Structure 1
């Protein structure tokens, strides 16, 4: 797809500011426009449709890339890598899933940026526990000053916010002040709790896939859920519960296909129909 499309490249502009102004000129697509373009790409391999989907989301990439400016890498390179992730997302996007491209693409954009940082940033390991990971990826943003030493009140506040011990805060502050950190962790570490910081580059919020899942579950747990589920037939109710309402892990289409003796595509169709019915049940008349 990328070889057949001409997209705005940062190198084509005299400055990053010019590039930012240029991408702001591309229109934001409505849900209907996005669906039509994505359907055209999926069914007809329409590269012009793919281009429109990509350029309409270049601002999203630039916005995400800004969150990684603290790692000392060129902003233009971060954006360029994020654009690669965006193009991968557009190719894999399924408009029938009922999720907007902006939500789906965030994961792919971040994944490419993470990979770029791994390839270009060499650090050494400092954290081995979950508490230390949380501290490492939040301490810098929670400090009142980048270089100032932490005061006792600030230590106590950070400890309360992150649910860790004050001495853990002080230890991590000391480590971060005197050592570099390994983004990829130690491949020779045989312990189960291996530290791989690249998975936590942005600790201020969950990954997009987790956010989407939480939003879906929260929506389904609104008032009237039990009534809405009760109105479904047994098979549809089982599929919805297995796919969306299990807290530990959701069943895959193939798992349910094997359970009911039908194809995975048939399970997907039943799921979509059931979800649509439930939205109708849950929407006030």
Structure 2
């Protein structure tokens, strides 16, 4: 199917020159009869015949154009909508079973709309207005329910909610999302950094991250660095054996602290002696750190 896709790309809008020329080209391909379509579908489905796939795609390009026109109200390039629909058509043809008694166009409409829907949701706004399956359904049906410009009144909200099987609050929230506009987060290249007039203010000037405190974070990092330096210098006042005992007992990042008995076995002394050395080392460290 990748080979078919590459072949279809040779008749894209960019190669033809314009959308009108592409539409004329797509309409020039004859619509297949049911018998011819089924024969080509069998060749593709059972034998992987690439030429049959190409003919099935070309004969249905006009149908993709027809579906894509229904989404022209979203402010997105018609050429892009058609291209996405073509991808859906190719996916449908790859999955089409000719033994099922249904025309290809009836089977493909779901895949064509699915690809166009995904493209619209990704490109209509910078921030997605619909993420769940229910929100996607509401997004596309809400535009169809708009009979006039402006916001829904209370009666219209109740009617739409009842027809779509959702709550009135969901209708209100989706209408608000669809009516919102993207704004620039930072100042534009034309704005002056010294001009703080209302017209030049952007979100980055007044948004506050209440979950973080930069000053506290810097203070903690400075204190951690200071404490680490003090401890490193304090360790130098200990003899090598005492240093190793302190490091292994308190500074090494192990799942569990090493026992006195384990250290005692390594040095050939008693656990009590290790405890005494550890206690004396701690006293010296405290004095060195507080100095």
CA contact (8 A) 2:64 2:86 kept: yes
Q: Distance in 1 between matches of 2:63 and 2:120?
A: 19
Q: Which ranges of structure 2 fall in alignment gaps of 5 or more residues?
A: 183-291
Which of the numbers 153, 177, 180 marks the counterpart of 2:179? 177
Deviation of the 1:141 alpha carbon: 2.5
Q: Deviations over 1:19-62 (max 9, x none)?
A: 11221111111111011111222333322222111111001111
| Conserved 8 A contact 2:41-2:96 | yes
In the alignment, which residue of structure 1 is the partner of 2:24? 21
1:57 is matched with which residue: 57, 60, 67?
Answer: 60
| 1:5 paired residue number | 7
Deviations 1:81-102 (A, max 9, x none): 2212222222232211222211
Query: In 1, are the aligned partners of 2:30 and 2:59 still within 8 Å (CA)?
Result: yes
Find the counterpart in structure 1 of residue 210 from structure 2: none
Picking from 31, 36, 39, the partner of 2:34 is 31
Question: CA, structure 1 residues 14+163, in 2 after alignment: closer, same or farther (shift >3 Å)?
Answer: same
CA distances 1:116-155 after superposition (whole Å, capped 9, x unpaired): 335434225579895x776544333222223x23345544
In 1, the alpha carbon distance for the partners of 2:95 and 2:133 equals 35
Q: Give, in whole Å, the separation in 2 of the partners of 1:82 and 1:39.
A: 23
Per-residue CA deviation, residues 171-202 of structure 1 (Å, 9 max, x unaligned), is 6544543467xxxxxxxxxxxxxxxxxxxxxx
Matched position secondary structure for 2:84: helix
* CA RMSD in angstroms, aligned pairs only: 3.3
1:75 aligns to 2:78 (yes or no): yes
- The 1:45/1:133 distance shift into structure 2, 3 A limit, reads closer
Note the 1:75-114 alignment, pairs <5 A. 75-114=78-117
Equivalent residue number for residue 123 of structure 1: 127
Q: Which moved more, 1:104-113 or 1:49-58?
A: 104-113
Distance 2:153 2:91 in 1: 46
Cα pair distance change 1:44/1:72, threshold 3 Å: same
The answer to which structure, 1 or 2, has the higher relative contact order (CA under 8 A, 6+ apart) is 1
C-alpha spacing 1:47/1:32, structure 2 compared with 1 (3 Å): same
Alignment of structure 1 residues 172-251 onto 2, 5 Å: 172-178=174-180
Larger Rg: 2
Q: Given the two structures, how large is their TM-score scaled by the length of structure 1?
A: 0.51
Note the residue ranges of structure 1 that are not aligned, 5 or more in a row: 181-285
TM-score by length of 2: 0.50
- Tell me what 2:142 maps to: 139
